Structure 1
Amino acid sequence: MQHRHDGQWIRCGFILALLLCAPLSVAAQAVTAEGPVVDMAAVQVTGEQPGPGLWKVSNAQGHVLWLLGTVAPLPAGVTWRSDQVQQVIAASDHVLGPPGWTPDVKLGLLRGLTLLPLAMKTAKDPQGRTLHQIVAPDTYARWLGLKATYLGRNGGVEKKRPMIASGELYMAFLKRQGLRDSGQVTEALERAYKANKLEPEEARVKLPIADARGALKELQGSEVDDRACFERTLDTVEFQAPVLRERANAWAAGDIGALRRLAVMSMARTCRDVVQDSAFARSRGWNDLGQQARTQWLGLADKALAQHASTFSTVPVSLLLGPEDYLGALRARGYTIEAPPE
């Protein structure tokens, strides 16, 4: 579910992401580049594309863990097809799910729908303030310009929490740039798993929520200082379209060198920290989720390599090659790692 809903935390908003939609995905990525941005990727990759090759992680017994690095967003005009991935899945006896975290809450469709109005209320500022009253004047001026470009006349968004409002801006921005989430990749993988009678092992950290309605009511009145997330999202929308397109093109075309250079995660981390630093999250021990997710996934990778001849998994490229350095952690455990051709 994680990669299908890359960026879903933005679309559903802070609360729906925690309780009703997808996890605050560590794969929901926006990049920040140093120095001036030069539009080197104005031409978007289209058509059927293979995506990147696979990293091969081997232990002393000859067992193998195959890793597909994932990226979001992707070019809207691309159809992903990888013969290598299909062949590896067909030859594997195990699938390890991606790292991350997910709300552990029992909600059927009907109950989820009954909670939706309450969840939507939490998207608004608990004090009833507008964005003009919350963010700094210069930031709000930037917001108005970007809002006019991507959202047009949308008065309702002015009453939402900064994280939610900027999230709506970001999704409209992606659409305008010819980008979309990575849902088709997840759907293709799920078809391959099903065809080969493989059930992915859940690898995400579960965040228990015993009382969804009570949690929503608590969140509705919670103060969350999400201005840093708001500002970073504006930075991404205003300056980083060329970088996002370049990374999306690099993934579609399998350009590992470019992916390595662009393996930076900035906006997602800022917004993730906003949630983790909230009183709601701290009271439940939901802090340092990135490290928890990393530790849990690496432990399950150890187990998979010990018990299975061939395991397939997906991990965001930003985690494989970025500061979290999942590949480095696997190498430090004594595994041999073979990178795909660059």
Structure 2
Amino acid sequence: MTRKVLTAVAFSLLAASAWAQEDAQASEGDTVVITGQRPGPGLWKVSKGEHVMYVFGDYAPLPIKMDWRSHEVEAIIAKSQEYLPKPSFGISVGWWGGIKMLPFAIGIKNNPDGGKLIDVLPADTYDRWQALKTKYIGKNDSIERERPMFVADTLYQQGLEKNGLTMRTDVYSKLDKLVKQYKVKVTSSNVQTELESPTEALRAFKNSPGTDVLCFARTVERLESDLDAMRARANAWAVGDMSKISSLSFADREAACTDAVLNNDAFKSNEKLKQVKETMQKNWLANAERALEANDSTFAVLPLVRLLDPKGPLAVLQAKGYKVEAPE
């Protein structure tokens, strides 16, 4: 029970992973959200001699009513010896640390000293929030007492859903089922960081103001101006339109929201957390190179933004002499 409470409270602070997907910026005009069964994008191919690793590009938000299924992906998983899932990171506090944190968990989502959003947000941002709140959330007085980062998450999820999109896709769960079905070995690249003093960290978080205002502002901007862009990438991903996908750039909402956590007084002195993005890439690359040496076929998943990053994992492998082929 203690672990469940902590997962819902302390660890929700890191829900926006450093490798999470970010929204796309695109031209206007893509307003239709594709539904029905769709294959998603093709696979990237990394090879060393006869040894091959196929990489799937994960992305969200996607259309709510889209049913993802790729016969190509299933065929690759069926013949693969190893699976490298998308890296993530989390915080561990241990059993005793969790017990000590419980008294401080009450009110974790609220602003320090009983402040309201009108007190902590710039006036223009608050006015824009009120318009979006009316449109996507409706009457909710209690949310006005929550910290901007938590309000931003609620606003973003509900804004997406009312526009036919969702971050809660079933793509990853379907991949996991296929991996289990074909009994493929799973190798994690996740990073787990332990807090030395979880009680002090939670107390510091509750008392620290202001670090998450930029996350809130970026969320408001995305919902005000970039819904067409989100639909554009969601549609392109659904049908595997790589020319469209490659032409779109990424926005910075997730980066701002991740920084809201990592720059908070509770975590900013933790050197391991500061390096978490680099550590995840390092772990994944080490596993990928070992798998390419050992296996005839490997299946892997990375966020789409990392696959398109000129400094991302595939670019690093290519610089080391591996052959990297993007889907057409």
Q: TM-score when scaled to structure 2? A: 0.89
1:31 to 24, 29, 32: 24
Show the 5 A alignment for 1:284-299. 284-285=270-271, 286-299=273-286
Q: Distance in 2 between matches of 1:323 and 1:119?
A: 41
Q: Distance in 2 between matches of 1:119 and 1:172?
A: 25
Q: Distance in 1 between matches of 2:195 and 2:39?
A: 39
CA deviations on 1:207-254 (whole Å, 9 max, x unpaired) are 223665554334222335111111111000111110111111111111
Does the alignment pair 1:92 with 2:92? no
Does the alignment pair 1:75 with 2:70? no
User: Who is 1:41 aligned against?
Assistant: 30
Give SS of 2:153's match: helix
User: Who is 1:52 aligned against?
Assistant: 41
User: Who is 1:337 aligned against?
Assistant: 324
CA deviations on 1:254-276 (whole Å, 9 max, x unpaired) are 11112222241410011112222
Q: Distance in 1 between matches of 2:192 and 2:147?
A: 26
Quickly say closer, same or farther: Cα 1:297–1:84, change in 2 above 3 A.
same
2:51 to 63, 81, 95: 63
Show the 5 A alignment for 1:131-280. 131-209=117-195, 215-280=201-266
Q: Percent of pairs identical after alignment? A: 34
Deviation of 1:325 after TM superposition, in Å, equals 2.7
Quickly say closer, same or farther: Cα 1:323–1:142, change in 2 above 3 A.
farther
Do 2:156 and 2:223's aligned partners in 1 also have CA atoms closer than 8 Å?
A: yes
Do 1:104 and 1:208's aligned partners in 2 also have CA atoms closer than 8 Å?
A: yes
Quickly say closer, same or farther: Cα 1:211–1:55, change in 2 above 3 A.
same
Give SS of 2:55's match: strand
CA deviations on 1:5-43 (whole Å, 9 max, x unpaired) are xxxxxxx68x44247xx562522422345xxx52x2222
Quickly say closer, same or farther: Cα 1:324–1:234, change in 2 above 3 A.
farther
**Which 5+ residue runs of structure 2 have no aligned equivalent?**
1-7
AA in 2 matched with 1:45? I
Q: Distance in 2 between matches of 1:68 and 1:276?
A: 28
1:121 to 103, 107, 120: 107
Do 2:90 and 2:192's aligned partners in 1 also have CA atoms closer than 8 Å?
A: yes
2:299 to 306, 309, 312: 312
Give SS of 1:280's match: coil
User: Who is 1:7 aligned against?
Assistant: none
Report the RMSD for the aligned CA atoms in angstroms: 2.4
User: Who is 2:89 aligned against?
Assistant: 101
Q: Distance in 1 between matches of 2:105 and 2:241?
A: 41
